[in-house]
């Protein structure tokens, strides 16, 4: 039985937000819903450095669901709608979720979102904010996104392009793709080659090798949630003039 | 959904039963089978970003529902490419601004009032008006414009083909966009050169001067990180701390537009400490050539008494675009004429020295080598202390900068291979060419050319015509005519004394530009310098404006006729780029939406309809050859005659004709595309056959390794047209055409921004103390994706103005205020963002916002169509031509007043 995890290399992350966008498109998320966020550490505006000139710095941080081994959201759910599958992926069963939102309070990473409204309403609002005049969104059928419902082996709906109103949703490690042997959209879509996804139980997998060999950290590690999304810490070369120059022959 | 628990369990039972016996059963597999068929089609994402990334479109029920990077480049390191914009292109294809049918304007230009008409009506209207204008003002008064041909050699080529057929004037978008870095033709005799981005990992030292590659080269930016992982050093020189600077080992903040001073400070140290590659310089450059001190012109062999006889004989053997110059041969202790047609060197020219020469005229003149002149000028003006004074943002840092210049010079000279990336927001200034010439010195003096990982690259624009395309682009070999955008916009300069003094060959339509037929661009936002384009539209100087687009952009609002085209998932096209040498195909994943047509079709229609109106028998007969194979044209005309014509049929024919055009260009394209076919391209990207080791895109490999003379050819310009820029057949740092002497720019030097432009107008210097840099945004490709919902969300739907926090305070503004950036020409609104990484004197507004998002103000009303005299002494479109300087814009900022919902 595999145990899925992800590593994000912050040295390679260029903050382009392509992971956030490809996740949105593939998972058919309407305006206002983001399962993955990429922010700049220490700054409210993306790609603005923190610090004071000239000692400024800029690090980007993509945050998907951590798929915690010791997930607080799973513990908080009163109806067992959110659970961790054997392969480690933490999912929401849209039919069981009663929308109480206890899981959102429990999650320290803020990666869960509640659908206060029908996605059509979200699109309408989004287009209005973007200054489009009419409710042009007359075509009820077209949505971007993987077009098929996806159920787990025991029949629970864990992905649907029709965003259900009144439930909580979050990143699923693209369960609809992983179950077919494909990588999650954000991993395939990262043009910085910053992500690795794979089996933590397999000592020869790429991800296992990285966890053994690199300087890796977890977000909010002291809370004991045991996230399965790891980050390779950004490094810098020490000091200026560190290159030994000599005349090349 | 709407499945009850009971039904649910029933379905599960059925599903499990079916799955249990299946060979493909895996744990946790979906129990619901996919309904409907899904198809995947690979195309190439093609806005103007130079990415040219392969994408697989997932098609379900006739619509594209997801886009996934194809990641099928043979070099694994390139994969997956792609970016947030390409991934969300569905928002454009299926969005509110998607054009549906042909439109004819009924209101005022810019108002946006149109009536939907049939294709016949639209095309007849266009043909009527164009034929009239051609008869009245001459065909060259029709100006056409395509943006960046690399994104579509077939359909953009169709408008070029049409333009050549009727001898219209073409606006070259490369110089219109300001993407041509003028130092290239001046120094190397080429349009531009660049390493393919995979080569970045082979550089041991990368220096980026003013290119925010992490934002503008998203699919390639990783190579910088990978280079660092391999132990290479990466420095970034920029007035502002950008995401790219954040990845660098060192960020060196300099005053805006002072890169030439820094580069020459580095050159000073390289020369002082003899860190240059003497043999390389003697072989590849004009450094040993002798220059007359009295005239400042290079000494010609024909002038020299002891050489004139030999020169006359020699002259008969060399092409007319070459000339014969003189060096002092140390080995023979005599003057010598180097062969301009070969870099093979069996002589040892003096690099330094002053000599006296007897001329045929009887005069005796003093001469110095170019290298000697360079040394003298650089040691006098650009000692590290002096350069530091110019570049340091703070007087207190001058000493530190002096040391930094020294140290970086030593590092850059001795860590090979060195690669300099010179960015557009850096060279798009009035004196951008001087900066480029200075930076090129660093690379050339140290022999960093013609090798893996070495050189100087500028990646702006997917303009590159990578192999001869004339078989498609030129109708029956008719040549294109040209009109320079800056001259069109800047009437007063064109009629002024400086232009008349130096202009030798730059053409201009006799009666000016009366019709504007453009496609795949948004000039009424993006090129509306000083609001002049809109003025020409509003006052009727432009009598006809015809747009081609797949969305209702701002420019469509200003057009008279809008012809709806398609994006890159609805047609066949051929793409190439500067970032990598892969040839790729665009392929239709879905039918063109609504009544949109592949552009090749309507340009063919216009060609035909104009022919009928002009009464030219010859053209009328020839026009059936507009599609590559006349059978396609005839088939459609037959259908029209016997009433079986449909839009669908026309589309099918057009798609076939597109593939034929692609085949034609591959078949007739020469060595680099030898053996490449459309069938191959349907399977995936194919690398051009570049004659270098591993077919890698390096620069000047044939010159450095095979000793062929400079320049290599820059398609589509014939070699004689560009080779005359470097008559010596070598890299030329000394320019001696009259204008360079007049401007004092015979050698690379630093000239401050604004002194020769904005500050020539009284009072501007003190009023507008900020430099406005309109950088490229992460969320757009220029103005494509300005209306992309997902991109807008990420920006909070707000155009912004980035300001240094101290400057913000001084202007009594707060972060989040709606501010007005203004000067004596125009204004633009944006929300203030305090950015501690910004230079105090720089304001940033990201270009590409459609003006409806900026409350109808526009950043381009602030810019000005400056023209530098040295840019029009020759005319080779897109190669030596006045090129736009966006950042030469002085502004001020204040709180926006009287604005609703601020």
Task: Read off the pLDDT of residues B220-232 as tens digits, 9 standing for 90 and up.
Answer: 999 999 999 999 9
From B479's Cα to the closest Cα of chain A, the distance in A is 41
- Kindly report the average pLDDT of chain B as a whole number: 94
Task: Report residue B32's pLDDT band, with 50, 70 and 90 as the boundaries.
Answer: very low
Minimum mean pLDDT among A73-77, B3-7, B384-388: which range? Answer: B3-7
A14 and B CB contact within 8 Å: yes
Q: pLDDT at residue B657 above 80?
A: yes
From B600's Cα to the closest Cα of chain A, the distance in A is 29
Distance CA B8, CA B25 (A): 20
B395 and A CB contact within 8 Å: no
From A175's Cα to the closest Cα of chain B, the distance in A is 10
Calculate mean pLDDT across residues A211-234. Answer: 95
* Residue A231 CB neighbours (<10 A): 22
Distance CA B218, CA B213 (A): 7
Q: What are phi and psi of A233, to 5 degrees?
A: -65, 140
- C-beta of residue B803 within 8 angstroms of C-beta of residue B833: yes
Q: How many residues does chain A have?
A: 249
Q: pLDDT at residue B30 above 70?
A: no
Enumerate the residues of chain B whose CB falls inside 8 A of the CB of residue A177.
Answer: none
Question: Given the structure tokens 């050159």, which residue do they identify?
Answer: B267
pLDDT of res. B16: 39
- B-interface mutation test, from A79, A140, A178, A191, most B Cβ less than 10 A away: A191
Who has greater pLDDT, A219 or B34? A219
3-state secondary structure of A157: strand
Distant-in-sequence, close-in-space partners of B128: CB < 8 Å, separation ≥ 6: B613
3-state secondary structure of B715: coil
pLDDT tens sequence across B860-878: 999 999 999 999 999 999 9
Task: Report residue B35's pLDDT band, with 50, 70 and 90 as the boundaries.
Answer: low
- Show contacts of B294-301: CB within 8 Å, 24+ apart: B294/B365, B294/B366, B296/B736, B296/B741, B296/B746, B297/B736, B297/B741, B298/B325, B298/B370, B298/B728, B298/B734, B298/B736, B299/B325, B299/B326, B299/B357, B299/B367, B300/B324, B300/B325, B300/B326, B301/B325, B301/B326, B301/B337
Where helices occur in B668-780 by DSSP H, the ranges are 678-683, 701-706, 719-723, 738-743, 764-767
- C-beta of residue B609 within 8 angstroms of C-beta of residue B184: no
pLDDT of res. A155: 95
B836–A52: do the CB atoms touch at under 8 Å?
Answer: yes
pLDDT tens sequence across A76-110: 999 999 999 999 999 999 999 999 999 999 999 99
- ipTM surpasses 0.90: yes
Under DSSP, the state recorded for B101 is: S
A159 and B CB contact within 8 Å: no
A95–B793: do the CB atoms touch at under 8 Å?
Answer: no
A144–B65: do the CB atoms touch at under 8 Å?
Answer: yes
Enumerate the residues of chain A whose CB falls inside 8 A of the CB of residue B228.
Answer: 11, 237
pLDDT tens sequence across B421-446: 999 989 999 999 999 999 999 999 99
pLDDT tens sequence across B67-118: 999 999 999 999 999 999 999 999 999 999 999 999 999 999 999 999 999 9
Residue of chain A nearest B786, judged by CA positions: A130
pLDDT tens sequence across B201-254: 999 999 999 999 999 999 999 999 999 999 999 999 999 999 999 999 999 999
- If you write DSSP's letter for every residue of B294-313 in order, what string do you get? TT-SBPBGGGBTTTHHHHHH
Distance CA A169, CA B604 (A): 51
B778–A241: do the CB atoms touch at under 8 Å?
Answer: no
B340-353 b/e (C-beta count within 10 Å ≥ 16 → b): beebeeebbbbbee
Global pTM exceeds 0.90: yes
Minimum mean pLDDT among B12-21, B107-116, B158-167, B507-516: which range? Answer: B12-21
B204 and A CB contact within 8 Å: no
From A152's Cα to the closest Cα of chain B, the distance in A is 5
Q: pLDDT at residue B842 above 70?
A: yes
* Residue A113 CB neighbours (<10 A): 18
pLDDT of res. B443: 98
Residue B30 burial class via C-beta count within 10 angstroms: exposed 0-12, middle 13-18, buried 19 and up:
buried
Under DSSP, the state recorded for B879 is: T
B17 and A CB contact within 8 Å: no
List the one residue out of B700, B697, B690, B696 whose CA is nearest residue B285.
B700
**What is the percent of chain B with per-residue pLDDT over 90, rounded to a whole number?**
94
Task: Report residue A137's pLDDT band, with 50, 70 and 90 as the boundaries.
Answer: low
Task: Report residue B3's pLDDT band, with 50, 70 and 90 as the boundaries.
Answer: very low
pLDDT of res. B634: 98
Residue of chain A nearest B393, judged by CA positions: A54
Give Cα separations from B311 to B159, B285, B289, B308, B708 (angstroms).
47, 20, 15, 5, 21
Q: What are phi and psi of B210, to 5 degrees?
A: 70, 35
List the one residue out of A98, A68, A130 whose CA is nearest residue B788.
A130
Enumerate the residues of chain B whose CB falls inside 8 A of the CB of residue A24.
Answer: 88, 790
Enumerate the residues of chain B whose CB falls inside 8 A of the CB of residue A52.
Answer: 836
A129 and B CB contact within 8 Å: yes
Q: pLDDT at residue A229 above 70?
A: yes
A164 and B CB contact within 8 Å: yes
**What is the percent of chain A with per-residue pLDDT over 90, rounded to a whole number?**
80
pLDDT tens sequence across B265-307: 999 999 999 999 999 999 999 999 999 999 999 999 999 999 9
Distance of CA B664 to the CA centre of its chain: 25
Calculate mean pLDDT across residues B461-490. Answer: 95
Under DSSP, the state recorded for B644 is: -
pLDDT of res. B27: 33
Q: pLDDT at residue B21 above 50?
A: no
A143–B65: do the CB atoms touch at under 8 Å?
Answer: yes
A50–B836: do the CB atoms touch at under 8 Å?
Answer: yes
Residue of chain B nearest A22, judged by CA positions: B87
Enumerate the residues of chain A whose CB falls inside 8 A of the CB of residue B251.
Answer: 54
From A188's Cα to the closest Cα of chain B, the distance in A is 7
B225–A246: do the CB atoms touch at under 8 Å?
Answer: no
From A70's Cα to the closest Cα of chain B, the distance in A is 21
pLDDT of res. A164: 86
- Kindly report the average pLDDT of chain A as a whole number: 91
- C-beta of residue B304 within 8 angstroms of C-beta of residue B360: yes
pLDDT of res. B23: 38
Q: pLDDT at residue B2 above 90?
A: no
């Amino acid at each position: 039985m595999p145990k899925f995890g992800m590593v994000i290399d912050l040295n390679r992350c260029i903050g382009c937000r392509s992971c956030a966008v490809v996740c949105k498109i593939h998972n058919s998320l309407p305006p206002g819903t983001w399962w993955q966020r990429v922010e700049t550490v220490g700054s409210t505006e993306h790609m603005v450095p923190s610090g004071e000139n000239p000692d400024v710095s800029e690090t980007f941080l993509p945050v998907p669901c951590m798929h915690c081994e010791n997930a607080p959201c799973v513990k908080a759910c009163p109806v067992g709608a959110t659970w961790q599958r054997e392969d480690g992926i933490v999912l929401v069963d849209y039919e069981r979720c009663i929308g109480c939102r206890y899981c959102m309070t429990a999650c320290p990473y803020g990666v869960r979102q509640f659908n206060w409204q029908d996605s059509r309403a979200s699109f309408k609002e989004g287009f209005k904010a973007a200054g489009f005049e009419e409710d042009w969104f007359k075509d009820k059928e077209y949505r971007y996104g993987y077009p098929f419902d996806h159920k787990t082996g025991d029949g629970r709906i864990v992905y649907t392009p029709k965003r259900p109103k009144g439930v909580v949703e979050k990143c699923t490690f693209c369960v609809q793709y992983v179950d077919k042997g494909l990588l999650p959209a954000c991993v395939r879509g990262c043009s910085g080659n910053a992500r690795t996804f794979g089996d933590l139980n397999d000592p020869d997998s790429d991800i296992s090798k990285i966890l053994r060999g690199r300087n890796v950290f977890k977000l909010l590690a002291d809370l004991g949630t045991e996230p399965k999304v790891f980050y390779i810490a950004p490094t810098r070369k020490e000091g200026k003039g560190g290159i030994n120059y000599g005349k090349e022959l | 959904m709407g499945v009850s628990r009971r039904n649910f369990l029933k379905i599960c039972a059925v599903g499990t039963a079916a799955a249990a016996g299946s060979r493909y059963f895996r744990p946790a597999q979906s129990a619901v089978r996919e309904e409907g068929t899904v198809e995947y089609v690979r195309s190439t994402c093609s806005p103007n970003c130079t990415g040219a990334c392969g994408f697989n479109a997932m098609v379900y029920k006739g619509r594209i529902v997801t886009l996934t990077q194809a990641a099928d480049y043979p070099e694994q390191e390139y994969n997956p490419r792609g970016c947030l914009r390409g991934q969300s292109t569905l928002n454009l294809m299926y969005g509110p601004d998607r054009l549906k049918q042909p439109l004819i304007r009924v209101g005022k230009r810019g108002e946006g009032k149109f009536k939907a008409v049939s294709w016949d009506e639209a095309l007849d209207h266009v043909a009527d008006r164009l034929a009239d204008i051609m008869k009245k003002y001459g065909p060259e008064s029709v100006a056409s414009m395509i943006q960046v041909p690399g994104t579509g050699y077939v359909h953009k080529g169709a408008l070029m083909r049409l333009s050549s057929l009727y001898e219209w004037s073409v606006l070259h978008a490369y110089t219109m966009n300001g993407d041509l870095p003028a130092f290239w033709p001046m120094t190397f005799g080429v349009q531009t050169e660049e390493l393919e981005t995979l080569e970045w990992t082979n550089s041991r030292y990368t220096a980026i001067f003013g290119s925010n590659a992490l934002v503008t080269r998203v699919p390639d930016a990783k190579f910088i990180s990978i280079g660092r992982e391999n132990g290479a050093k990466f420095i970034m020189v920029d007035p502002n701390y950008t995401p790219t600077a954040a990845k660098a080992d060192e960020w060196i903040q300099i005053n805006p537009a002072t890169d030439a001073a820094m580069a020459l400070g580095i050159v000073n140290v390289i020369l002082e400490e003899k860190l240059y590659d003497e043999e390389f310089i003697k072989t590849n450059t004009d450094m040993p050539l002798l220059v007359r001190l009295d005239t400042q012109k290079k000494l010609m062999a024909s002038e020299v008494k002891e050489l004139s006889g030999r020169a006359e004989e020699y002259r008969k053997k060399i092409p007319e675009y070459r000339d014969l110059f003189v060096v002092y041969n140390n080995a023979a202790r005599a003057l010598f004429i180097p062969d301009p047609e070969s870099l093979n060197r069996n002589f040892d020219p003096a690099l330094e020295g002053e000599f006296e020469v007897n001329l045929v005229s009887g005069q005796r003149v003093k001469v110095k080598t170019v290298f000697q002149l360079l040394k003298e000028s650089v040691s006098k003006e650009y000692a590290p202390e002096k350069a530091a004074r110019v570049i340091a943002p703070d007087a207190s840092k001058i000493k530190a900068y002096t040391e930094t210049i020294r140290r970086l010079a030593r590092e850059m000279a001795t860590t090979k291979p060195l690669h300099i990336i010179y960015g557009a927001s850096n060279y798009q200034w009035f004196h951008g060419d001087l900066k480029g010439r200075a930076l090129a010195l660093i690379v050339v003096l140290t022999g960093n050319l013609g090798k893996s990982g070495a050189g100087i690259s500028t990646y702006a624009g997917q303009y590159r015509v990578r192999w001869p395309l004339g078989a498609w682009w030129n109708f029956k070999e008719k040549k294109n005519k040209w009109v320079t955008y800056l001259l069109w916009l800047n009437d007063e300069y064109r009629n002024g004394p400086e232009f008349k003094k130096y202009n030798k060959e730059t053409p201009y339509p006799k009666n000016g530009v009366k019709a504007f037929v453009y496609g795949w661009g948004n000039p009424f936002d993006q090129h509306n310098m000083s609001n002049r384009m809109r003025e020409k539209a509003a006052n009727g100087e432009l009598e006809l404006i015809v747009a081609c687009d797949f969305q209702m952009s701002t420019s469509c609002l200003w057009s008279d006729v809008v012809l709806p085209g398609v994006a890159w998932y609805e047609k066949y096209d051929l793409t190439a780029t500067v970032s990598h040498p892969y040839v790729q195909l665009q392929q239709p994943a879905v039918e063109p939406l609504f009544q949109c047509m592949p552009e090749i079709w309507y340009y063919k229609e216009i060609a035909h309809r104009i022919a009928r109106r002009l009464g030219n028998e010859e053209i009328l007969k020839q026009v059936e050859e507009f599609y590559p194979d006349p059978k396609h044209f005839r088939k459609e005309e037959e259908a029209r005659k016997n009433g079986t014509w449909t839009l669908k049929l026309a589309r099918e024919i057009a798609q076939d004709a597109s593939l034929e055009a692609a085949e034609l260009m591959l078949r007739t394209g020469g060595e680099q595309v030898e053996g490449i076919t459309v069938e191959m391209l349907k399977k995936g990207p194919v690398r051009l056959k570049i004659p270098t080791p591993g077919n890698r895109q390096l620069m000047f490999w044939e010159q450095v390794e095979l000793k062929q003379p400079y320049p290599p050819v820059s398609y589509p310009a014939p070699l004689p047209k560009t080779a005359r820029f470097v008559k010596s057949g070598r890299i030329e740092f000394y320019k001696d055409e009259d204008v360079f002497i007049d401007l004092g720019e015979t050698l690379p030097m630093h000239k401050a921004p604004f002194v020769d432009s904005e500050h020539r107008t009284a009072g501007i210097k003190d009023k507008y103390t900020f430099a406005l840099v309109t950088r490229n945004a992460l969320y757009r490709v220029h103005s494509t994706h300005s209306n992309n919902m997902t991109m807008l969300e990420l920006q909070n739907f707000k155009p912004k103005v980035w300001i240094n926090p101290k400057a913000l305070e001084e202007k009594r503004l707060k972060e989040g205020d709606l501010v007005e950036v203004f000067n004596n020409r125009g204004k633009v609104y944006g929300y203030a963002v305090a950015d501690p990484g910004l230079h105090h004197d720089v304001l940033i507004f990201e270009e590409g916002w459609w003006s409806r998002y900026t409350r109808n103000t526009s950043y381009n009303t602030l810019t000005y169509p400056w023209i530098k005299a040295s840019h029009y002494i020759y005319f080779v479109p897109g190669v030596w031509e006045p090129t736009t300087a966006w950042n030469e814009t002085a502004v001020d900022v204040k709180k926006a007043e009287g604005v609703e919902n601020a």
